[in-house]
Amino acid sequence: EVQLVESGGGLVQPGGSLRLSCAASGFTFSSYWMSWVRQAPGKGLEWVANIKQDGSEKYYVDSVKGRFTISRDNAKNSLYLQMNSLRAEDTAVYYCARDGKWLVPSYWGQGTLVTVSS
C-alpha cells in the first residue's frame, strides 16, 4: 500500500524557516517524480514544486522560487521542502504527492499545516 506521511509543519514567524519531510513507503520511491502541493485554509489547491526521480530536475511555482527548495533522499525514501523567508501567504496545508503521469499526483499524503504568523 502506498503511504506518504508528511511532518515538520508548525507555527513560524514571518521571515522564518521550516523544513517539511515526507516519508514514503509501499512503492519504489526512486522511480517516481514527487511533488508538493499546498492548500490555504478554506481555499483551493496550488502547486508548489516537483522533483525528478534522481533529483536532477526541479521545478517551482513563481511565488516560491528562490525561497523554497525541494529535495529528496532516495536511500531514505524521503522527500523534503526547505522553506525560507516565509510569508503570511505561505500559510497552508502542505501535501506530499507521488506523480503517476507527469504532473498528475496519483497518491497524496494527509498533509502538514504550516502557519506563518507573528
Partner 1 sequence: EIVLTQSPATLSLSPGERATLSCRASQSVSSYLAWYQQKPGQAPRLLIYDASNRATGIPARFSGSGSGTDFTLTISSLEPEDFAVYYCQQRSNWPPTFGPGTKVDIK
The correct pick among 1, 31, 54, 62 for binding partner 1 (CB under 8 A) is 62
103 near partner 1 (CB under 8 A):
yes
Torsion angle defined by CA atoms of residues 44, 98, 79 and 9, in that order, rounded to the nearest 10 degrees:
30
106 binds partner 1, rule: CB under 8 A: yes
Rounded Cα gap, residues 36 and 46, in angstroms: 9
| Stretch touching partner 1 by CB under 8 A, among 10-18, 67-75, 76-84, 99-107 | 99-107
> Residues in contact with partner 1, total (CB under 8 A)?
20
Comparison of 17 and 57: residue with beta carbon closer to partner 1:
57
Q: Is residue 10 near partner 1 by the rule CB under 8 A?
A: no
- Report the C-alpha gap between 118 and 116 in whole angstroms: 7
C-alpha cell, 82: 526547505
Q: Which is nearer to partner 1, 52 or 74 (CB)?
A: 52
Residue 114, strand partner residues: 10, 92
Residue with cell 500500500: 1
Residue 40 lies near partner 1 (rule: CB under 8 A): no
Q: DSSP states of 11-41 as a string?
A: EE-TT--EEEEEEEESS-GGGS-EEEEEE-T
Least gap, CB of 45 to partner 1 (angstroms)? 4
Which positions lie near partner 1, rule CB under 8 A?
44-47, 59, 61-62, 95, 100-111
